[in-house]
Amino acid sequence: MRQFILCSIVLLFFACKEKETPRVVKEYSIEEFYNNTRIGGGAFSDDEDRLLVASDETGIFNVYEINLKDGSRRALTESVEESFFSVDYVPGTNSFLYSADKGGDEIDHIYLQSEDGTVTDLTPGEKAKANFAGWNREDTHMYYNSNARDPQYFDLYKMKIGDWNPEVIYKNTNGNDLTDWSEDEKYMAFSKTITTSSNELWLEDRMSNKKIQISNPDKPGSYSSSGFSKDNKSFYFITDEDAEFSYLKEMNLETGETSTVYQTDWDVMYSYLSKNETYRIIAINEDGKNSLVILDKATGKQVDFPDIKDGDITAVRVSDSEEKMRLSVGSSKSPNNLYLYDFKSKELTKLTETLNKNINPDNLVSAEVVRYKSFDGLEIPAIYYKPHIASKDNKVPALVWVHGGPGGQSRTGYFSLLQYLTNHGYAVLAVNNRGSSGYGKSFYKMDDKNHGDKDLKDCIAGKDWLASQDYINADQIGIIGGSYGGYMTMAAMAFTPEEFKVGVNIFGVTNWLRTLKSIPPYWESFRQALYEELGDPYSQDSVRLHAISPLFHTENIVNPVMVLQGANDPRVLQIESDEIVEGVRANNVPVEYVVFDDEGHGFIKKENEKRGYSQVLEFLDKYLRKENLN
C-alpha cells in the first residue's frame, strides 16, 4: 500500500545538469502523440500460445489476441462506442471474458464472448457493478464480486462454467471488504477500513465460525491480503507494522505464528505465488518506478532476470505451466509494451511496439527523479521533465503537475500529455507533495485534514525550485493536475492567486462538501476513511471543508483558468466544474471550459484526448508563454 517517509539527507538536484547542451528537436502534433497505442492485460490461453489483451489502436479499447509463435495480432471485438477491456480466456475453451461500462460511469459488467461470437452479459443490472475475481483451482467456476444485492456492499459469487448461473458464496452484510479466500473456500479474508492509512485485517474460518485478527490492534497500520498457499495452511499479507515501508509476511494457519518473507527499503506493492508455487513474484515501488523480484520458493533465492533498460514493470503474469511469464513494461519515453519471458531458455521477447513509429524516442525526455526542500525543510520528491531546448540563453516556461488522490503518486512511466507539453517547450515538475504514497507511512499521513495548506505549499516550493533554474522563465510558471490534482490547481488559483500565472484543472474537486456527500454507493466501506482524512461534511468539519473549497472563494481568482470535465464522472460531478467556471467568469477572468459527453473520471477515447489536450497547449501558449513574447 502507499506510504511515505521523512528523509534526512538532501539529494541536491542531480537531475539538473546546467552544462547539458541544449538541442533542437522535432515537435510532434497532438495527433502523433495520441496515435500511440495503449495496451493492457495479457492472459495466457490454455495452450499458452496466445495472449488475450486490450488495445486502443482503433481509438477506443477493444479485445485482441496475440499469437506468441509469430507475434501476429487479431481483433476479437470491434466496439466503436464503449471501451472493452480483456479479462481472461474461459478455461478449456477459446471463449473469453471482457469488462465494460457505459460512457465512463464505472458500472462495470462482465461479458462472455463465445467462440461463435455470441456475447452474453453475465452480470446484468442497470446499477450493478461487477469485478472479475478469478477461477477456482479446478477451473470449473468463475468468482466475481458484485453489489447487485445492495448497492453499498460487494458480495462474492461464483458461476459454473457452461451454465453461468450465479451462486452467492458470501453475503457481505457488515460493510467490510472481502479481499481473498482460500482454495477450499474455508477461509475468507476481510479488511475493515479505519483511515486511508490504516485498516484491520481478519480471517474467518467458515467451518468453525472462528475469526482470526491478522492486524495488530496495538499497532495501527496498513494490512492487505496477498493470498493463501495451495495447501491452505499459510496466509500471506503485506503490512507496514513496525516499519515505514510495507513488507511481506506469512502466517501459519495451524500455529498462528508469523514470519517475514521479504522486506526492503521501499514498499512491497504486491506479491503472489505462481500456480504450482515454484515462483514468488514481488513488485517493489522503488522511488517512482516498479522493480521486480522473483524468488525460487523452494530455495528462497532470487531468480536471475534480464534487465530492461529504463523499464518500469507495471504488471506480470506467470503461465499455469510456470514456463512463461508475461510482463507489462513501460518507460518515460514509451507507453507500456508487452514482453514474454521463457524461464527455461532465459529468453526475453518484446511482443509489441506501442510508441507511434513517427516519433523518435530520442526527441522525447527521460523523466528524472529530483528532490527539493519545502517551506519547512521537508524534502519533497518529484519527477522532472526538462525540455531538450532549454538553456540559459533559451529560457522556457514551466508547469507544476499535481497527481490525483489524495494519496496518489507521480511516477516515471510514460504520460503522453506531459511528453507533449515538454516536446513543445514546457518544463514539467510532477511533485509528490506530502500525503503522496510510495515514500513511507509518515509522509503519507502528513496532509490528513490539512489539504489545501501544507500540500499546496509543497507545490509552491516546487514552483520556486523551477524558478531557481537559470533556463526557466520565472514569471511563466503555471499549475496543472487531474482529480485531486485538479483540486490543488484550483486551490492554488483561489488561495495563492499570485503564485501561478495559469491553472489547468482536469476534473478536479472544487466543492468538498458536495463531493464527500455524493460518494458513489459502492465506496461505502471507504467512506468513513475519507471522512477521517478529509473531514466529515455532516459535522463541524464542514466549516473547514467550506474554507478549503475553491468554489466558495472564486472572487480571489485573478489568473486564467482552463477546466476539462467528463459529463458521466461519478466521482467529481459535472456541476462542480460548471459552478467553478461560472464563478471565475464572474470575475472577468479568462476561462476555457471543455466537457466530454461520453467520458467519466478520466478520458479514455483518443479523439477526446486529442481535442482536449491540444486545447491545453493552445491555452498555455496564449496565456502563459505569451508574457515574454510581448
Contacts of 299 (CB under 8 A, 6+ apart): none
Residue 10's pLDDT is 29
Query: pLDDT grade, residue 20 (50/70/90)?
Result: low
Mean pLDDT for the stretch of residues 493-513: 97
Closest CA to 274 of 259, 253, 260, 295: 295
Residue 90 per-residue DSSP state: P
Contacts of 252 (CB under 8 A, 6+ apart): 233, 234, 258
Is a pLDDT exceeding 60 seen at residue 564? yes
Closest CA to 471 of 528, 390, 557: 390
Q: Within 10 A of 121 (CB to CB), how many other CB atoms are there? A: 12
Long-range Cβ contacts of 69-77 (<8 Å, 24+ apart):
71/351, 76/52, 76/113, 77/113
Instruction: Check if the beta carbon of residue 3 is closer than 8 Å to that of residue 438.
Output: yes
Rounded to whole angstroms, how far apart are CA atoms 1 and 3? 6
pLDDT tens figures, 413-455: 999 999 999 999 999 999 999 999 999 999 999 998 889 999 9
Kindly list the domain boundaries of the chain, sorted by start residue. Answer: 269-354, 359-511+549-628
Query: pLDDT grade, residue 344 (50/70/90)?
Result: very high
To the nearest whole percent, how much of the chain has pLDDT over 70? 96
pLDDT tens figures, 505-539: 999 999 999 999 988 888 887 888 888 889 999 99
Q: Evaluate whether the domain defined by 359-511+549-628 bears CATH number 3.40.50.1820.
A: yes
Is a pLDDT exceeding 80 seen at residue 257? yes
Listed range (121-135, 229-243, 512-526) with the worst mean pLDDT:
512-526
Rounded to whole angstroms, how far apart are CA atoms 55 and 109? 18
Q: State whether residue 498 is helix, strand or coil.
A: coil
- The whole-model pTM stands at 0.90
pLDDT tens figures, 286-328: 999 999 999 999 999 999 888 787 788 889 999 999 999 999 9
Q: With residue 466 as reference, give the H or E element that holds it.
A: helix 454-468
3-state DSSP of 301-339 = CECCCCCCCCCEEEEEEECCCCCEEEEEEEECCEEEEEE
